[in-house]
Amino acid sequence: MKFEWKGVMPAVTTKFTDNDTLDLPLFELNIQAQLEAGVHGIVLGGTLGEASTLEDEEKRILTQTTVSKVAGKVPVLINIAEQTTKKAVAAAHRAEEDGASGLMMLPPMRYKAGDRETVEYFKAVATSSSLPIMVYNNPVDYKIEVTQKMFEELLKYETIQAVKESTRDISNVTRIKNNFGNRLKIMTGVDTLALESLLMGADGWIAGLVCAFPAETVAIYELQKAGRIQEALAIYRWFLPLLELDINPKLVQNIKLAEVATKIGSENVRPPRLPLVGEERKHVVSVIENGIKNRPQLPDYKNLN
């Protein structure tokens, strides 16, 4: 499959049973909903996928299951979030064996690596795997920023092709385009800056609330791409209170609760995470219910061209 960094790629949640095992039937139900909505790729084992709680074998099962389910329709990416370079390289090899199309890759976990160390970490994977790599640049949550100067070094390696731009600095989209043109593809990674980033030139959207609202998310992307900005903006304005559930420490619980409301998920999370309770849960449920009550009617966004 020719890999293209474009469109909406859901960072899917990992579905668990009441006994804390992988719920593959429910997981596949959600993947099917994403495919039917017209997503352009699937991202596994990210923050929303509860990456830090997954065993290596579970990641392999999720990758193999997804590759089989999508049957070549869209690329499948698996996230690499490891504490050592050796483990990151091994994870890339497993991903390749399991049929993944590409990698989303965070800087080293836990240890706050310096710029040189971070560059060498990415280079080690880039030179040991043939899979295309998207650097996940999220200094807000993960405390390491991959700077423009660091990208100058990383882009010497052809497998490093994209960035998941999650710095929350909207001007970075223009900065990247000015410095690197189309050599570094931009996938916006912050739901509440998604349309703004796309209009500034981002190539696609690694999305969160798409897990519960796939059609609306893809519609925004397709409409803005077709130049129907006002229609995209109207959906985006409706969507914003829901999108704000993504920029929250409990984004996993929030989005899984939304998946329950749209009948393509469950509230089950893996401890130490716990489902929402009390006033916190009431607030999130209220946001979701209000969104569903006022859900917009979508145009035929799949046939705009």
Percentage, residues of the chain above pLDDT 70: 99
Residue 164 is classified by DSSP as E
CATH number reported for the structural domain that contains residue 156 in this entry = 3.20.20.70
Contact assessment for residue 146 and residue 157, using Cβ atoms and an 8 Å cutoff: no
**Model pLDDT for residues 26-78, shown as the tens digit of each residue:** 999 999 999 999 999 999 999 999 999 999 999 999 999 999 999 999 999 99
Element (H, E) at 137: strand 133-137
Domain of residue 110, residue span: 7-303
Residue-level pLDDT at 3? 80
Residue-level pLDDT at 280? 98
Residue 254: pLDDT over 60:
yes
The two beta strands, 160-165 and 76-80, are unpaired
User: How many other β-carbons are positioned within 10 Å of the β-carbon of residue 197?
Assistant: 21
Element (H, E) at 237: helix 229-243
DSSP 189-215: --GGGHHHHHHTT--EEEESGGGT-HH
**Model pLDDT for residues 146-201, shown as the tens digit of each residue:** 999 999 999 999 999 999 999 999 999 999 999 999 999 999 999 999 999 999 99
The whole model's pTM is what? Answer: 0.96
In a domain, 1, yes or no: no
Element (H, E) at 136: strand 133-137
Residue 90: pLDDT over 90:
yes
In a domain, 2, yes or no: no
pLDDT band at 2 (very low <50, low <70, confident <90, very high): low
Largest CA distance in the chain: 51
The residues, any chain, with a CB within 8 Å of residue 66's CB and separated by 6 or more, are: 31, 42, 44, 76
In a domain, 29, yes or no: yes
**Model pLDDT for residues 235-249, shown as the tens digit of each residue:** 999 999 999 999 999
Residue-level pLDDT at 45? 97
d(CA 21, CA 246): 24
In a domain, 148, yes or no: yes
Residue 1: pLDDT over 80:
no
Residue 305: pLDDT over 90:
no
In a domain, 299, yes or no: yes
Percentage, residues of the chain above pLDDT 90: 97
Residue 12: pLDDT over 80:
yes
Residue 111 is classified by DSSP as S
Mean pLDDT of 254-280: 98
Residue-level pLDDT at 224? 98
Report angle CA 258, 264, 270 to the nearest 5 degrees: 70
Residue 265: pLDDT over 60:
yes
In a domain, 136, yes or no: yes
Calculate the alpha carbon distances from 109 to 84, 121, 251 in Å: 8, 11, 20
In a domain, 65, yes or no: yes
Mean pLDDT of 199-208: 98
> What's the total number of domains in the chain?
1
Positive/negative CA dihedral, 211, 69, 41, 232:
negative
In a domain, 64, yes or no: yes
